[in-house]
Amino acid sequence: MPHAPAPVAVVADDERLMREQIVTQLQQAWPELVIAGEASNGREAVALAHSLDADIVFLDIRMPEMDGIQAAQALAGSVHVVFVTAYDEYAIKAFEQGAVDYLLKPAEPERVAITCERLRARLSRKPDSMDELLARLSQRLGAGGSKPRDYLRWVQASAGANLRMIPTSDILFFRAEDKYTRVQTPRFEALIRKPIKELVEQLDPQEFWQIHRATVVRVDAVEQVSRNFRGNQVVHVKGSDEKLEVSRSFSHLFKQM
């Protein structure tokens, strides 16, 4: 009989040393596990999990841009999730049902080995939807009194010889062009020097989605999504004739298509 393919995993933590520690311990505890990607935030983790067709994702709960809970919500039911956390007060209560495993930082080799055994047993089953668990975690983390993140609400951009203050609610999309990033509104376009990679970290992920390494679109501005002659998804934006291609890494955002 042919051997089953080796399971594929993604490790996400905003601390590089912590990622390296987890990767090293996973390799020792489960040599057959293929760690195909590492991410420093939840947004990267979701994109990697989909593009690599991962079986397992290890998610740090506290990460910038998109935290582990939000990433798990985006991945629910498609991969097996293990949460990594330094906050045992969240973990002990939330994981009582045992449907999803967790590792406490710093992860001990013995505990990593137990997690690997549990994952081996679960791989033959469909990943848990995590509905109840994520609701509990969101509630507990929200009750922790952490200050909500401040996202951009205005963009200062050059439009011709003028400098304009543009509310993010007026922006249709951002697009990298040469040394500038174009800011497109229904009435005009403007330019900023901030690169897309830096810009996307300052935008509310509930309001703006990156759909390409060079393009970020405001979700409410999306009118429809079609496919071009190459089969790639294309976003049609309200108030603009421009069509924005979605790269493969971000096609999961429109997974109903």
Q: What is the pLDDT of residues 160-215, one digit of tens each?
A: 888 889 999 999 999 999 889 999 999 999 999 999 988 988 888 878 999 999 99
> Which CATH number belongs to the domain containing residue 136 in this structure?
3.40.50.2300
- Tell me, yes or no, whether 82 and 159 share the same domain: no
Query: 176 - beta bridge partners?
Result: 181
CATH of the domain at 245: 2.40.50.1020
- Considering the domain architecture, whether residues 122 and 236 belong to the same structural domain is answered as no
- Give yes or no: residues 107 and 12 share one domain: yes
3-class DSSP assignment, residue 239: coil
Q: pLDDT at position 217, please? A: 96
pLDDT at 96: 58
Do 37 and 72 lie in one domain? The reply is: yes
Question: What pLDDT, on a 0 to 100 scale, did the predictor assign at position 149?
Answer: 55
How high is the pLDDT of residue 255? 66
Q: What is the pLDDT of residues 225-257, one digit of tens each?
A: 998 888 889 999 998 899 999 988 888 787 654
Phi first, then psi: give them for residue 85, nearest 5 degrees: -150, 150
Asked if the structure places residue 197 within a domain, the reply is yes
Q: What local confidence, expressed as pLDDT, does residue 230 receive?
A: 82
The residue with tokens 């390296």 is 20
| Burial of 148 from C-beta contacts in 10 A (0-12 / 13-18 / 19+) | exposed
**Last residue within a domain, chosen from 79, 111, 143:** 143
User: 12 with 132, same domain?
Assistant: yes
User: What integer pLDDT is reported at residue 15 of this predicted model?
Assistant: 84
Q: Tell me, what's the pLDDT at 145?
A: 40
Q: 87 lies in which domain range?
A: 8-143
Residues 66 and 70: their CA atoms lie apart, in Å, by 6
Model confidence pLDDT, tens digit, residues 42-79: 999 999 999 999 999 999 988 887 888 889 989 988 99
- Regarding whether 173 and 67 lie in a shared domain, the answer is no
- Could you read off the pLDDT of 76-119 as tens digits, one per residue? 889 999 998 876 555 566 665 556 788 887 788 899 999 999 99
Assigned token pair, 110: 């013995």
Mean pLDDT (whole number) for 22-30:
94
Final residue before a domain boundary, out of 93, 115, 143: 143
The reply to whether 201 and 165 lie within a common domain is yes
Within-domain flag for 201: yes
Domain count, the chain: 2
Q: Output the CA–CA distances (angstroms, integers) from residue 67 to 40, 72, 84, 225, 244, in the order listed.
A: 10, 9, 11, 27, 27
Helix (H) or strand (E) holding 106: none
Looking at the fold, whether 194 and 132 belong to one and the same domain comes out as no
Q: Is residue 130 part of a domain?
A: yes
Residue 2 belongs to some domain of the structure:
no
Top pLDDT among 26 and 140 is at 26
HEC string of 57-98? EEEECCCCCCCHHHHHHHHCCCCEEEEEECCHHHHHHHCCCC
